[in-house]
Chains A and B, each alone.
Chain A
Amino acid sequence: MNVLVVDDSQTMRTIQRRCLGALGIVNVAEGVDGAHAWQLFQTGSFDLILSDWNMPNMDGLTFLKHVRRVNRQVPFLMITTEAERARVVEAIQAGVTDYLVKPFTPEGLKAKLDKWVGVLS
């Protein structure tokens, strides 16, 4: 399984990479913003995408829309501080598959990722 983790914070990318590793997922590519992630997505093959929303160069919502224009199936999880209902609706309308609000507990992150790793396995 190949996973693309996208966040401008290396701390966040490390937290998510460690959690994926604990679930047995080691093929993890890291995007530092939406533009970088879009480049990686176009040249790679990913089974799951975890993305922040607020990032420089290209935000997560725009990245999601780019992905959905060419791939409607790949699970896309938004992991973000954007918690307002209107923002969640906006992401759903753009094709997000699941949503996790920061801050999160380690157990919360694991449960969310475990669910999708299980679905895809």
Chain B
Amino acid sequence: MLAVASRASVTTADYVNPVIRATRDVFEMMLGCTPKRVGLTLKTEDAPNPFAISAVIGITGRATGTIVFYVSESTALQALRRMTGTEASRVDEHVCDAVGELTNMIAGAAKAQLAELQLSISIPNVVHGDRHSVYFPSHVTPFRILFDSELGPFCIEVGFTALP
């Protein structure tokens, strides 16, 4: 089980394992590869973001939170090709749509493992650009989960707050 760093993180820790399982399922079924988790830390404000694309999904219900899926341009291009057979030479709306849909499936599969929380997920928003940052609400300390895969490294950040 995960070690919990602080009381503020207790709630978020409950949701990390479903997100990890969901990520593996999505990559295996949709991309034909099994990602390996290579890191798990609490996100710090000064942690640099090496990934050029991020997809953000909001979650509401008996808990509220955010899941962010970070990938490199190379990984995103390969993901589009594996899912649709389309070869893209640069990141465009089709590549971003593929990243958004992967994020949608990860969040959806995690949500299904947390059915007692009656969660709803938003439509993903995808951001593309070097050195961008995604900020969580100040009262949330998200976990940062690093993966490696055949398609390259990627990262998922997840931060939740249970409603009183």
Contact = CB atoms under 8 A, between A and B. Distances in A.
Interface in B1-57: 25-26, 29-30
B83 A15 contact: yes
A55 B124 CA distance: 11
A108 B121 CA distance: 24
Interface stretch (A37-45, A62-70, A78-86): A78-86
Interface string A69-94: 00000000000111111100000000
Nearest to A83: B112
Contacts of B121: 54, 81
A2 interface: no
B19 to A, nearest CB: 14
Interface stretch (B63-71, B98-106, B139-147, B154-162): B98-106
B157 to A, nearest CB: 19
B84 A18 contact: yes
A81 B111 contact: yes
B97 A9 contact: yes
B123 A54 contact: yes
B109 A81 contact: yes
A10 B97 CA distance: 7
B25 to A, nearest CB: 6
B137 interface: no
Contacts of A47: none
Contacts of B105: 81, 102-103
Given A14-B84, A15-B84, A18-B85, A103 B109 contact: yes
Contact of B100 (A9, A14, A102, A103): A9
B57 to A, nearest CB: 11
A3 B85 CA distance: 21
A11 interface: yes
Interface of B: 25-26, 29-30, 80, 83-86, 93-94, 97-98, 100-101, 104-105, 107-109, 111-112, 115, 121, 123
7 contacts: A9-B100, A11-B94, A11-B97, A81-B107, A103-B105, A104-B30, A108-B29
Given A9-B104, A54-B104, A102-B105, 5 more contacts: A9-B101, A11-B83, A12-B101, A14-B86, A101-B112
